[in-house]
Chain A
Amino acid sequence: MKLNTLILSLCGASAFAFAAHAQSITIATVNNGDMIRMQKLTDDFTAKNPDIQLNWVTLEENVLRERVTTDIATKGGQYDVMTIGTYEVPIWAKQNWLLPLDNLGADYDVDDIIPAIRGGLSADGKLYAAPFYGESSFIMYRTDLMEKAGLTMPDAPTWEFVADAARKMTDRANDINGICLRGKAGWGENMAFLTATSNSFGARWFDEQWKPQFDQPEWKQTLEFYVNLMKDAGPAGASSNGFNENLALFQQGKCGMWIDATVAASFVSNPKDSTVADKVGYALAPDNGLGKRGNWLWAWSLAIPAGTQKAEAAQKFVAWATSKAYLDLVASKEGWANVPPGTRTSLYNNPEYQKAAPFAKMTLDSINAADPTNPTVKPVPYTGVQFVAIPEFQGLGTTVGQLFSAALAGQMLVDDALKQAQDAATATMQEGGYIQ
């Protein structure tokens, strides 16, 4: 009886001691396949770190952005780890809102992070967020329709070739559109695609003195090319289509080509969801011979807000979730095809991954082709390939996106859309004090 009492007391005391010592960290994230998979695999982390408990907050992308911005700006301290993108990192790092990730452990191998991605997540040479998955954009095309059109897709096509192929592949009677591109208004929707495309046409958002450039011929060429191409070879109602809508169209066999995030390759080549899984080829985003391709660079990354009281535990988690060991863990549990892509060079040197992901090489080439510090042909005062890393861009990008979406829908002339975009950008830059 006495022994039982003693054992029970010891158990109780140890449980109490553990509870007192254990700390929980709260992680804010978006809902996508890779993030949900990570949540299911966190037993591995808690087994290695029994003193750290994980709380997840999953939110819609725009709500997440608004919530974490509110929390970090007011030092609310609700989150210990935040999922943010390459747009936020340089801006927030400059505001001292993020902790530099300089304690990720000896075996983390920070040099293995793909240089373009690492550059996009660093400020003043310090890494402020660790990439969980990275992406660029490239062309996904139907090999059978390309062959039927009598064409062969080069690995690095021009816009001229893509436009010609799109028009030849279009078969309205059979509900096949030569090309599916983003049209839904939003700085992260149509403006991600159009800004990246405009880089390959030599356009830029601002000159070196922050003067808006929508009144320059390069933007007119970009927008006219896009609107005409979509009129001739795009799907009906394209001005409402974003990533998910085009994904559905491509999976249903209604697109000859789709230029979008490299992460889509795993969706369109998955026979469970895609009717054209065995007929998909990949190529680099097109160019116009000016030295820049129309591809972007993005990474959903894990960062630690400066206001957290649990920085050490948060760094442990970030190191675990973005490590090489995590990639191995996913591969062992769910196969190499499900490993989060676009973060580590070693993954692309892995023969097993190359075998499981036929789009691996093209993904890496696309990521390497993007340069966030030198995004377009002419010099610019900003960083970011498909965005401009200034706080004003979210609002301005969405306003311009609405104008360009209206031009695509035929509700506005291209010239009018560009004129209004120039006016909106000028007003925003004046209000922000960038120009007089």
Chain B
Amino acid sequence: MARSVTTGHKAIATAGAWIVALLIFFPILYTIITSFKSETEAIAGFDLIPSFTTESYAEVQSQYNYFKPFLNSVLLSVGSTVIALAIAIPAAWSMAFSPTRRTKDILMWMLSTKMMPAVAVLFPMYIIFRDLGLLDSRIGLMIMLTMINLPIVVWMLYTYFREIPGEILEAARMDGASLWNEIVYVLTPMAVPGIASTMLLNIILAWNEAFWTIRLTTTDAAPLTAFISSFSSPQGLFWAKLSAASTLAIAPILIMGWFSQKQLVRGLTFGAVK
């Protein structure tokens, strides 16, 4: 009897999870479906069965070169992630293993920068970028994306490092390990899954960032977000073309997310259940 109740609960939970997952995934699915419709079909109303035309993909390819913004997206997301990790790992290590009275305040202050609407600092940032000659440059945008995502990266790593028992590090020290050996041979192997999931999430966030990547670029550094934006038309039907451009833009990150979902879930849920 007890077994059947458990099975019933499991079935309900599974069905619920599927429904929630489908609801979350549906906008992406509908974008993909719309990309295979004609423009007239796309705007006609809700319909899950497209005519399976690839004309929108052909038009997108004929209008713009996909490769350049794709390359920029890869460079910007990976580059900003590497810089963010280089800054965040020592910062999170320090806060996790040598906390001070102000550690919590610093963490809250870092998070508070995420609460400010980006548009509020658009003009000052634009002027700074102009004066430093960083407008439409990959390095400028990498710095911007690093700054945007750094609070999340520090927080994630800090949470992860806090789960590593301090006694293990103490034992290593008692065995005569130097600080360098302690970090390289003890801490790092234990933290690799957390760093990996943080890195993956940061790449996704940087890949999808649209406010600054559209506003601080023109041609040389414009990534896929700018590529998508260019297909919206004030006069003329564009839903199918826009969907095709979006599908092309999200495909690489969807594939990456699919293959790394185990690490992502592990990183995101780490410490949630003790």
Looking at the assembled complex, report how far the CB atom of B118 sits from the nearest CB atom of chain A, in whole angstroms: 12
Is residue A247 within 8 Å, beta carbon to beta carbon, of the partner chain?
Answer: yes
The answer to whether B235 touches A26 (Cβ under 8 A) is: no
Contacts of A243 in B (CB 8 A): 234-235
The answer to whether A77 touches B130 (Cβ under 8 A) is: yes
| Residue in A60, A75, A79 whose Cβ sees the most chain B Cβ within 10 Å | A60
Interface positions, chain B 229-269, Cβ under 8 Å from A, are 229-238
Is residue B39 within 8 Å, beta carbon to beta carbon, of the partner chain?
Answer: yes
Nearest-neighbor residue (CB-CB) of A67 within chain B: B215
Interface positions, chain A 237-265, Cβ under 8 Å from B, are 243-245, 247-248, 251-252, 261, 263-264
Contacts of A76 in B (CB 8 A): 126, 130, 135
Looking at the assembled complex, report how far the CB atom of A196 sits from the nearest CB atom of chain B, in whole angstroms: 16
The answer to whether B44 touches A252 (Cβ under 8 A) is: yes
Number of interface residues of B (CB under 8 A): 29
The answer to whether A63 touches B234 (Cβ under 8 A) is: no
Nearest-neighbor residue (CB-CB) of B127 within chain A: A74
The answer to whether A31 touches B232 (Cβ under 8 A) is: yes
**Do A55 and B43 form a contact, CB below 8 Å, given A63-B214, A74-B126, A248-B237?**
no
**Do A78 and B218 form a contact, CB below 8 Å, given A31-B231, A248-B43?**
yes
Kindly count the residue-residue contacts between A and B in the assembled complex, taking CB atoms under 8 Å apart: 89
Interface positions, chain B 211-228, Cβ under 8 Å from A, are 214-215, 218-219, 222, 226
Looking at the assembled complex, report how far the CB atom of B227 sits from the nearest CB atom of chain A, in whole angstroms: 9
CA distance A74 to B122 in the complex (A): 11
Looking at the assembled complex, report how far the CB atom of B211 sits from the nearest CB atom of chain A, in whole angstroms: 10
The answer to whether B234 touches A61 (Cβ under 8 A) is: yes
The answer to whether A247 touches B237 (Cβ under 8 A) is: yes
| Residue in B40, B44, B122, B218 whose Cβ sees the most chain A Cβ within 10 Å | B218
Interface positions, chain A 7-42, Cβ under 8 Å from B, are 26, 28, 30-33, 36, 39
Indicate which residue in A31, A57, A61, A247 contacts B218 across the interface (CB closer than 8 Å): A57
Looking at the assembled complex, report how far the CB atom of A76 sits from the nearest CB atom of chain B, in whole angstroms: 5
Is residue A59 within 8 Å, beta carbon to beta carbon, of the partner chain?
Answer: yes
CA distance A78 to B214 in the complex (A): 13
CA distance A137 to B226 in the complex (A): 31
Nearest-neighbor residue (CB-CB) of A133 within chain B: B235
CA distance A76 to B64 in the complex (A): 25
Contacts of B231 in A (CB 8 A): 31
Contacts of B233 in A (CB 8 A): 30-32, 244
CA distance A252 to B43 in the complex (A): 11
The answer to whether B235 touches A263 (Cβ under 8 A) is: yes
Indicate which residue in B123, B136, B232, B237 contacts A70 across the interface (CB closer than 8 Å): B123
Contacts of A71 in B (CB 8 A): 126
CA distance A55 to B230 in the complex (A): 14
The answer to whether A57 touches B43 (Cβ under 8 A) is: no
Is residue B63 within 8 Å, beta carbon to beta carbon, of the partner chain?
Answer: yes
| Residue in B130, B235, B238 whose Cβ sees the most chain A Cβ within 10 Å | B235
Contacts of B63 in A (CB 8 A): 36, 39
**Do A273 and B40 form a contact, CB below 8 Å, given A261-B235, A267-B236?**
yes
Contacts of B234 in A (CB 8 A): 30-32, 61, 188, 243
CA distance A63 to B231 in the complex (A): 12
Is residue A56 within 8 Å, beta carbon to beta carbon, of the partner chain?
Answer: yes
The answer to whether B127 touches A61 (Cβ under 8 A) is: no
Nearest-neighbor residue (CB-CB) of A254 within chain B: B44
Indicate which residue in A26, A63, A244, A261 contacts B219 across the interface (CB closer than 8 Å): A26
CA distance A261 to B226 in the complex (A): 28
CA distance A63 to B233 in the complex (A): 11
Looking at the assembled complex, report how far the CB atom of A250 sits from the nearest CB atom of chain B, in whole angstroms: 11
Contacts of B222 in A (CB 8 A): 57
Looking at the assembled complex, report how far the CB atom of B231 sits from the nearest CB atom of chain A, in whole angstroms: 6
Render A44-83 as a binary contact track against B, CB cut-off 8 A, 1 for contact: 0000000000011111110100110011011111110000
Contacts of A28 in B (CB 8 A): 218
The answer to whether B236 touches A244 (Cβ under 8 A) is: yes
CA distance A371 to B2 in the complex (A): 82
Nearest-neighbor residue (CB-CB) of A275 within chain B: B40
The answer to whether B219 touches A61 (Cβ under 8 A) is: no
The answer to whether B130 touches A26 (Cβ under 8 A) is: no
**Do A273 and B230 form a contact, CB below 8 Å, given A26-B218, A247-B237, A267-B236?**
no
Looking at the assembled complex, report how far the CB atom of B21 sits from the nearest CB atom of chain A, in whole angstroms: 29
* B→A interface (CB under 8 Å): 39-40, 43-44, 63-64, 122-123, 126-127, 130, 135-136, 214-215, 218-219, 222, 226, 229-238
9 A-B residue pairs with CB within 8 Å: A31-B232, A31-B236, A58-B64, A59-B229, A74-B127, A76-B135, A78-B136, A244-B43, A247-B236
Listed from nearest, the 9 A-B pairs whose CB atoms lie closest are: A60-B232, A58-B230, A248-B43, A61-B234, A55-B219, A31-B233, A57-B218, A76-B130, A78-B218
11 more A-B contacts (CB under 8 A) besides A32-B236, A78-B135?
A55-B219, A63-B214, A67-B215, A70-B122, A73-B123, A79-B218, A243-B234, A244-B235, A252-B44, A261-B235, A264-B235
